[in-house]
Amino acid sequence: MTTLTKPEDAPAAGASDAFLSVRDLHVRFATEDGVVKAVDGLSFDLERGTTLGIVGESGSGKSVTNLSILGLHNPLSTTIEGEIVLDGKELITATEPELEKLRGNKMAMIFQDALTALSPYHSVGRQIGEPFRKHTGASKREARERAIEMLEKVGIPHAKRRVDDYPHQFSGGMRQRAMIAMSLVCNPDLLIADEPTTALDVTVQAQILDLLKDLQQEFGSAIIMITHDLGVVANMADDLLVMYAGRAVERGTVREVLKTPQHPYTWGLLASMPRLTADVDEPLTPIAGAPPSLLNPPSGCPFHPRCAFRNEVEGADRCVDIRPELPTGRGAACHLTSDQKSRIFTETIRPRLG
């Protein structure tokens, strides 16, 4: 069993000894159309040196969760409730200066697109060195040295020469490497990678993932890997959290979730993924329906309007009326019984996955 053994209704976060502990997190945005419930009662834990994969469609609350951890949400329009404890430090109630000391230092983030996430107006070296200077009080020269060192570490050739280059002078893969260097410059304990390879082509993708793995080994960081690519997750993560409509709908180890998924949404995700072993003319099966509106999420189980198996659930409209709980540890938030789940998966889903 892995880190994800804590039950959803675990005791208060302070008592948790996990490195990162998120408890009953609610994130709401006030918009002109109403309140968006971006994250609705999310809990998870993460241990040092391990990787948690979070998958889900866009708008499922993956990225919002991570911005909340970093405290980068817009304070004017966002309400955050719950607890986020990093190494014993409560983050939601932390002041801005306290958070600034943690960001880039204890916790860092790798963004999806290095082209937009690196400022075009400052040299790569400066952008890498900046947090180093801020958090360690290093001089400009020391910061530059450190930047070169980091660039070398992420595999940029001629780092000494390229350190003064601007992002637009780098290729896509090199930019991503530079950004990884930027996030790792202060040896963070927690690294949040938000779709770190989506913008890259496949060969570069693999290189970057390997790099991340190597670096994790070297620094011993915990990683949250946000992605919609189950392949990436299978490669990188220890544990997996599947999110839907701002909620966790299934969790377990990567192996558990991928081999014996229990939630109809996870089935849908797997079914919509192309397989190398499949026939060329075999169509992919997308999940029917559209992602839910977070302004007005469906009642009960938020997946029920799209769920092909809600009729199997006993008791009329249970899926519509009652929100299924995510059970402690390995499990899925679904009203189907365990038998039903394994029967449907074995009989209906697995054949489709080939």
Partner 1 sequence: MLRFILRRTFGAVLILLLISAFTFFMYYAIPQDPATLACGKNCTPDALAIIHKNLGLDDPIPVQYWKFLSGLFAGRDFAVGHCPAPCFGVSFRDQQMVWDTIMDRFPLTLSLTIGGLLVFLIVGLGTGLIAARYRGTWLDKTFSSISLVLSSMQIYFLGPVVLGIFVYSTGWLDKPKYVPFSENPAQWFMGLLIPWIVMSVIFTANYTRMSRSTMIEQLQEEHVRAARAKGMTGRYVFFRYAWRGSLIPILTILGMDLSALLGGAVVTEFTFGLAGIGRLAVDSVVGKDLPKLMGVMLFSAAFILLLNVIVDALYAVIDPRVRLS
Decide: is 79 part of the binding site for partner 1 (CB under 8 A).
no
User: Left, alpha or beta for 145 (phi > 0: left; psi -120 to 50: alpha)?
Assistant: alpha
Could you tell me which stretch among 52-60, 97-105, 273-281, 310-318 binds partner 1 (CB under 8 A)? 97-105
From 37, 62, 135, 251, residue interacting with partner 1 (rule: CB under 8 A): 135
What six digits make up the tokens of 260?
């014996």
# binding residues, partner 1 (CB under 8 A) = 33
Is residue 142 at the binding interface for partner 1, with CB under 8 A as the rule? no
- Using the 8-state DSSP alphabet, how is residue 349 labeled? I
Q: d(Cα 34, Cα 153) in Å, to the nearest integer? A: 47
Residue 76 is a binding residue for partner 1 (CB under 8 A)? yes
Q: Which of 38, 102, 209, 241 binds partner 1 (CB under 8 A)?
A: 102
| Residue listed under structure tokens 């075999």 | 282
Sheet holding 247-253, edge to edge: 107-110, 190-194, 222-227, 51-55, 239-244, 247-253, 331-332
Q: How far is the CB of 38 from partner 1 (least distance, A)?
A: 16
Residue 24's alpha-carbon distances to 83, 109, 253, 278, in angstroms, are: 7, 22, 21, 40
**181 or 349, CB closer to partner 1?**
181
8 A C-beta contact, residue 108 and residue 190: yes
**Is residue 31 involved in binding partner 1 (CB under 8 A)?**
no
Among 24, 130, 312, 325, binds partner 1 (CB under 8 A): 130
Is 103 near partner 1 (CB under 8 A)? yes
Binder among 13, 70, 233, 245 for partner 1 (CB under 8 A) = 70
Of the pair 97, 351, the CB lying nearest partner 1 is at 97
Contact 256, 224 (CB under 8 A): no
Indicate which single residue of 5, 12, 31, 72 sits in contact with partner 1 (rule: CB under 8 A).
Answer: 72
* Closest separation in Å from C-beta 292 to partner 1: 25
- Least Å distance, CB 22 to partner 1, is 18
Please, what is the minimum distance in Å from the beta carbon of residue 208 to partner 1? 17
Closest separation in Å from C-beta 109 to partner 1: 4
Distances (CA, A) of 323 to 13, 81, 250, 303, 318: 23, 20, 14, 10, 8
- Residue 124 token pair: 């790569």
CB of 262 to partner 1, least distance (A): 34
Q: Which amino acid is at 171?
A: S
| The token pair that represents 319 in the structure block | 């899926």
Binding residues among 167-196 for partner 1 as defined by CB under 8 A? 168-169, 179, 182-183
163-188 burial, b for 16+ CB within 10 Å, e for fewer?
Answer: bebbbeebeebbbbbbbbbbbbbbeb
In sequence order, what are the beta bridge partners of 349?
Answer: none
Q: Least distance to partner 1 from the beta carbon of 260, Å?
A: 36
113 is a contact residue toward partner 1 (CB under 8 A): yes
Judged by CB, which is closer to partner 1: 176, or 262?
176
- Cα angle at 210 between 204 and 215, to 5 degrees? 125
166 in contact with partner 1 (CB under 8 A): yes
CA atoms within 13 A on the CB side of 94: 22
Taking the C-alpha atoms of residue 221 and residue 6, their distance in angstroms, rounded to an integer, is 21
| Binding interface with partner 1 (CB under 8 A) | 70, 72, 76, 96, 100-105, 108-109, 111, 113, 116-123, 127, 130-131, 134-135, 166, 168-169, 179, 182-183
